[in-house]
């Protein structure tokens, strides 16, 4: 946790010659009020200044407890340079602060900032690859008029109060022809969610399961930025891909080109809460594993699926189901533990698994992805290397390299972190 550095809270940090350059680069026209323009009685609010960067959150940050015993806040900042191409901005540090106390609760700088930020439309390398991505370049330089996304994953020690409002403090320099000109700015005050995450029953039957692509790191769920209907969203932020694991730690055995070789295939999925079926899609064929299928039409992205409405503005998605296995229809009411369908490999899926998440809409596109927890489970171990669900069938063996976890044992009302192996 970073210590708080006292700052000039007015935000009036001198930009030296860069302030004038910034204003001109933005194309800002500053003129004094002449006759007929105001009375002179009005005054700017304290702290008003030109800022080289703007920022906007993409969701309301929602705290949740995870298996590491900490409270997490995972969300994104869309950051845009307001300057021209002749004035890049070097972003040196991002501090997330409690807006009430100005205490820093999380910081990014140097390599950590470089790995948590990327230009929109240019995701970090390494996603869906066999090897870890190369180190991101430092320092982080945002070109003029360019938009970046900063992936924030904050952790608070158990028992620490979650701030009611977060604010974000940027520091860096405008890189002008005459040299760098330092700046600091405070952007985007945003309230945190006050409603507790859904606490759910298991979406699968008892046994050992691998929680793949879970939060919080560089996974295609957590960092899946999607432009839908003219707006950016992160529709899979907290989604989990569930794989059945055998007694020897195997996810598949035999011929990986056969659907029946995967232990997940045709495993039942269960209602994780009392609710009403609001959407059902069937008839999408299973893909032959393990090669990546062509990207399907947007309406078939999640393949055969069932959506349950379980609370106002909260829906459970069960995706990639086996065609013909769905047991419910729209309008049906279900109880926790009720069998809904069987796991398949339909839609944008390479090997059989259950894609499960909470949504804010009945449709996957567009939706937001809030966090959730499970009532009880036991952590058995973890998979250290990054093994993507798309690649499981391409591994030389179907046995997962499961190692001991520091969080082994029973857990209640917590969210499983990425690559944990657990038992419901």
Walking along the chain (424 residues) 10 residues at a time, the average pLDDT comes out as: 38 40 41 42 77 94 97 96 89 97 96 94 52 76 94 93 96 93 93 96 98 90 92 96 96 96 98 98 96 89 97 98 98 98 96 97 95 98 76 89 96 97 97
CA dihedral 139, 140, 144, 149 (to 10 degrees): 180
Q: How many CB atoms lie within 10 A of CB 373?
A: 21
Q: Please, how many CA atoms are within 13 Å of residue 147, restricted to the half-sphere of its CB?
A: 8
Residue 385: its pLDDT value, please?
75
CB 74 within 8 A of CB 237: yes
CA dist., res. 203 & res. 184, Å (int): 46
Bridge partner list, 166: 98, 190
Region of 385 (left: φ > 0; alpha: ψ -120 to 50; beta: rest) is beta
3-state secondary structure of 212: strand
Residue 17: its pLDDT value, please?
44
Residue 42: its pLDDT value, please?
67
CA dist., res. 22 & res. 219, Å (int): 36
Residue 86: its pLDDT value, please?
80
Cα first-last separation, the chain: 33
Residue 49: its pLDDT value, please?
82
DSSP-derived pairing of the beta strands 372-383 and 198-200: parallel
In 3D space, the residue among 282, 274, 267 whose CA is nearest the CA of residue 310 turns out to be: 274
Residue 122: its pLDDT value, please?
66
Q: Which residue has the tokens 């106390």?
A: 101
pTM: 0.88
3-state secondary structure of 391: helix
What phi and psi, each to the nearest 5 degrees, are found at residue 17?
A: -70, -20
CA dist., res. 149 & res. 232, Å (int): 11
CB 72 within 8 A of CB 155: yes
SS3 track for 234-250 = CCCCCCEEEEECCCCCE
């Amino acid at each position: 946790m970073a210590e708080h550095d006292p700052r000039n809270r007015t935000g009036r940090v001198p930009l030296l010659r860069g302030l004038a350059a910034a204003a001109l680069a933005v194309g800002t026209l500053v003129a004094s009020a002449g006759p007929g323009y105001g009375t002179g009685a009005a005054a700017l609010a304290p702290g008003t200044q030109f800022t080289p960067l703007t920022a906007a959150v993409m969701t309301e940050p929602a705290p949740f407890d995870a298996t590491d015993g900490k409270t997490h806040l995972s969300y994104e900042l869309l950051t845009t340079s307001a300057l021209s191409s002749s004035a890049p901005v070097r972003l040196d540090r991002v501090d997330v602060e409690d807006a009430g106390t100005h205490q820093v609760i999380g910081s990014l700088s140097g390599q950590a900032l470089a790995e948590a930020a990327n230009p929109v439309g240019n995701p970090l390398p390494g996603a869906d690859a066999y090897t870890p991505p190369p180190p991101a370049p430092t320092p982080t330089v945002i070109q003029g008029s360019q938009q970046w996304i900063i992936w924030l994953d904050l952790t608070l020690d158990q028992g620490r109060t979650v701030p009611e409002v977060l604010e974000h403090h940027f520091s860096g320099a405008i890189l002008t022809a005459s040299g760098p000109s330092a700046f600091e700015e405070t952007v985007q005050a945003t309230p945190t969610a006050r409603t507790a995450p859904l606490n759910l029953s298991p979406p699968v039957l008892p046994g050992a399961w691998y929680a793949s692509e879970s939060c919080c790191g560089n996974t295609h769920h957590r960092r899946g930025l999607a432009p839908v209907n003219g707006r950016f969203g992160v529709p899979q932020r907290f989604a989990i891909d569930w794989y059945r694991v055998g007694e020897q730690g195997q996810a598949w055995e035999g011929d990986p080109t056969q659907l029946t070789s995967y232990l997940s295939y045709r495993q039942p999925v269960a209602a994780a809460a009392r609710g009403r079926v609001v959407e059902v899609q069937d008839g999408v064929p299973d893909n032959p594993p393990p090669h990546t299928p062509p990207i399907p039409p947007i309406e078939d992205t999640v393949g055969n699926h069932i959506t349950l409405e379980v609370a106002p503005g909260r829906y459970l998605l069960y995706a990639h189901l086996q065609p013909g296995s769905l047991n419910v229809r729209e309008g049906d009411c279900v109880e926790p533990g009720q069998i809904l369908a069987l796991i398949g490999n339909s839609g944008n899926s390479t090997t059989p698994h259950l894609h499960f998440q909470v949504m804010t809409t009945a449709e996957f596109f567009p939706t937001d992805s809030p966090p959730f927890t499970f009532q009880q489970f036991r952590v058995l171990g973890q998979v250290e290397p990054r093994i993507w669900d798309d690649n499981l069938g391409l591994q030389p063996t179907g046995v997962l390299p499961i190692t001991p976890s520091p969080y082994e044992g029973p857990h209640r009302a917590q969210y499983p972190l990425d690559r944990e192996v657990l038992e419901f």
